[in-house]
């Protein structure tokens, strides 16, 4: 079972929800951080990251002695990673998307295969509260703008890991609905949208729902920071929106200063009090119950 925790905006609470659930999950589990541009799940689960693997992209390297400057490679490149000045060809590896078209059309075989490091995969194990599990995360190279190939490598590794022992996977997705978030959600059985019941939060949540509904995954909602003073109408609006669309609202996590202080100190929200622990145990049970009644929509 692969459960992705997503949100329409950053700061809605998906990472804190993922971390607390992983720490209490009643079955073998892998916690995976797919927010590769700004991973922070490890800050809460404190895994022992024993392995690191570089992820690279094949990029062209010019063999100047073979190149005739015909410009075929430049003409096919849709990403402006190859330029021609007169008969001189220049390659900009950081702009390359690795499509391979330039290799296919070069009549002189003047392009060799080079490597651009996109980032790294790190894996290990964590132990927190009542659970032990494996941990996987990706981290982009500083300055790298393209994350989907790194994410695909991370998801492929996660697929291999889950096949080894049949663990459930709890996946912290990138925020929003850009390519990285949709790449991750496309592999999910269930997508849990963590929503903040503020005007901006609800607006972004509705956009996220429209996007993730197309993935085929079952959708559910967790309302985070409910009960904020003066925001009763926001709570009611989010509940009504979910009810109208028959979207399961699995939990309402209250706005709580003690929980916020624990989070700010790098602690698990589930460890704030026995009541908070019970909230997350109930959420875990609700997710497992949904999984037993089917993973993906037809």
What pLDDT, on the 0 to 100 scale, is given for residue 129?
72
pLDDT > 70 in the chain, percent: 98
Looking at 41, 76, 109, which one is the last position of a domain?
109
Q: Is the distance from CB of 218 to CB of 189 less than 8 angstroms?
A: yes
Structural domains counted in the chain: 2
Claim to verify: residue 129 and residue 247 sit in the same structural domain: yes
Claim to verify: residue 147 and residue 215 sit in the same structural domain: yes
Q: In which domain, by residue range, is 226 found? A: 2-55+118-292
Task: Enumerate the H helices of the chain as residue ranges.
Answer: 14-24, 42-45, 72-76, 101-105, 148-165, 179-185, 199-212, 232-244, 257-264, 274-292
Of the candidates 99, 57, 90, 68, the one whose C-alpha atom is nearest the C-alpha of residue 82 is 90
Distance of CA 276 to the CA centre of its chain: 25
Query: Does 73 map to a domain?
Result: yes
**In the predicted structure, residue 230 carries a pLDDT above the cut 70:** yes
Looking at 109, 143, 172, which one is the last position of a domain?
109
**In the predicted structure, residue 296 carries a pLDDT above the cut 80:** no
What pLDDT, on the 0 to 100 scale, is given for residue 292?
78
Claim to verify: residue 224 and residue 99 sit in the same structural domain: no
In this structure, of 164-173, 268-277, 285-294, the range with the lowest mean pLDDT score is 285-294
Residue predicted with more confidence, 14 or 295: 14
**DSSP secondary structure string for all residues of 68-110:** ----HHHHH-TTS-EEEETTEEEE-GGG-----HHHHH-TT--
**In the predicted structure, residue 298 carries a pLDDT above the cut 70:** no
Claim to verify: residue 22 and residue 146 sit in the same structural domain: yes
Query: Does 281 map to a domain?
Result: yes
What pLDDT, on the 0 to 100 scale, is given for residue 294?
57
How many residues appear in the chain? 298
Query: Does 297 map to a domain?
Result: no
pLDDT > 90 in the chain, percent: 90
Claim to verify: residue 11 and residue 92 sit in the same structural domain: no
Claim to verify: residue 124 and residue 71 sit in the same structural domain: no
What pLDDT, on the 0 to 100 scale, is given for residue 132?
87
Query: Does 152 map to a domain?
Result: yes
**In the predicted structure, residue 228 carries a pLDDT above the cut 80:** yes
The average confidence (pLDDT) of the chain is: 94
**In the predicted structure, residue 34 carries a pLDDT above the cut 50:** yes
């Amino acid at each position: 079972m692969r459960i992705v925790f997503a949100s329409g905006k950053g700061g809605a609470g998906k990472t804190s929800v993922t971390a607390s659930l992983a720490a209490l999950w009643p079955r073998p589990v892998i916690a995976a951080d797919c927010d590769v541009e700004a991973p922070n799940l490890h800050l809460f689960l404190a895994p022992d990251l024993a392995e690191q693997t570089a992820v690279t992209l094949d990029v062209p390297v010019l063999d100047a002695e073979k190149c005739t400057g015909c410009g075929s490679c430049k003409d096919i490149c849709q990403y402006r990673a190859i330029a021609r000045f007169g008969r001189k060809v220049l390659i900009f590896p950081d702009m390359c998307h690795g499509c391979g078209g330039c290799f296919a059309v070069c009549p002189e075989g003047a392009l060799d295969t080079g490597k651009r490091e996109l980032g790294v995969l790190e894996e290990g194990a964590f132990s927190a509260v009542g659970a032990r599990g494996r941990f996987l995360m990706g981290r982009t190279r500083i300055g790298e703008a393209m994350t989907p190939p790194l994410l695909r490598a991370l998801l492929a590794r996660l697929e291999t890991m889950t096949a080894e022992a049949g663990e459930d996977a709890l996946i912290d997705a990138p925020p929003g609905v850009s390519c990285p978030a949709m790449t991750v959600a496309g592999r999910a059985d269930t997508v849990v949208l963590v929503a903040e019941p503020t005007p901006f939060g609800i607006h972004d949540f509705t956009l996220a729902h429209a996007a993730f509904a197309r993935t085929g995954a079952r959708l559910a909602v967790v309302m985070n920071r409910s009960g904020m003073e003066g925001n009763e109408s926001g709570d009611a609006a989010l509940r009504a929106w979910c009810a109208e669309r028959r979207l399961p609202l699995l939990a309402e996590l209250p706005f709580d200063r003690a929980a916020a202080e624990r989070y700010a100190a790098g602690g698990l929200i589930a460890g704030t009090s026995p009541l908070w622990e019970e909230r997350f145990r109930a959420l875990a049970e609700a997710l497992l119950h949904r999984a037993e009644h089917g993973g993906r929509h037809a």
